[in-house]
Amino acid sequence: MSTTDQRNEQTQLSGEIVKVVSFHLGSEEYGVDIAQVQEIIRMVEITHVPKAPRFMEGVINLRGQLIPIIDLRTRFGMDRETHTKNTRIIVTEIATKRVGIIVDSVSEVINIPIEQVEEAPEMIAGVGTEYISGVGKLNERLIILLDLQKVITAQEKEELAGAEIVTS
C-alpha cells in the first residue's frame, strides 16, 4: 500500500469519498476532514493572554469554556488580514484540548472521490508539506487537504496542554 493510499485510508469516511470542510486563506482553498471539525463559529473578540505560547493568538470564551485560538494565516507565514464578516473560527481538538483556528472564510462540505486525492508536491501555496495530507481535485478546483493535528508541533502541543495554567 502506497503512502497516498494509507493517508487516504486514514481520512476516508464513507468507503469511496473523502468528506472535507473547505475554507479559504487568501486565494487558496483548503480542506480538513470533517471528522476533525467540532464546530464552526463566527469571529468573536479574542482576549490576548500574557505569556501565552507564541503561536497562540489568544483565547475566547465559548459557552463557558476557554478555547485557545490560532490564526492559520500567521501559522503559515502569510500576511495578517483584517477580519471580515466572512472570517470564521474552526473549532477542533488538538492534543486533547479544544482549539480554534481562524480562517478567512468557510465554503462548504465537499465530497471528494478518493481516486481524486493525490500526494502533495514538496511545497504548495507557501505551506510546508508537513501539514498537508494530500491535494483533492474536484472539477477545476484544487483543494489542499490539511491535517489539523500536524499544524502544531509536538513541543507546541505540550505548551498548549499547559496553557490552562496560563489562562486560569
Q: Which of 28, 29, 26, 31 is nearest to 11 (CA)?
A: 31
Local structure of residue 100 (DSSP, 8 states)? E
- pLDDT value, residue 56: 84
Which CATH number do you get for residue 130?
Answer: 2.40.50.180
- pLDDT value, residue 92: 93
The series of mean pLDDT values per 10 residues for the chain, 168 residues long, is 43 68 93 94 93 83 93 84 94 88 95 89 61 88 89 74 49
Overall number of domains in the chain:
1
- pLDDT value, residue 124: 56
Instruction: Give all strands of the β-sheet with 88-94 in edge-to-edge order.
Output: 39-42, 88-94, 97-103, 65-71, 58-62
- pLDDT value, residue 168: 39
Q: Domain residues for 62? A: 3-167
- pLDDT value, residue 130: 75
CA distance 49 to 69: 11
pTM greater than 0.85 (yes/no): no
- pLDDT value, residue 162: 63
- pLDDT value, residue 19: 94
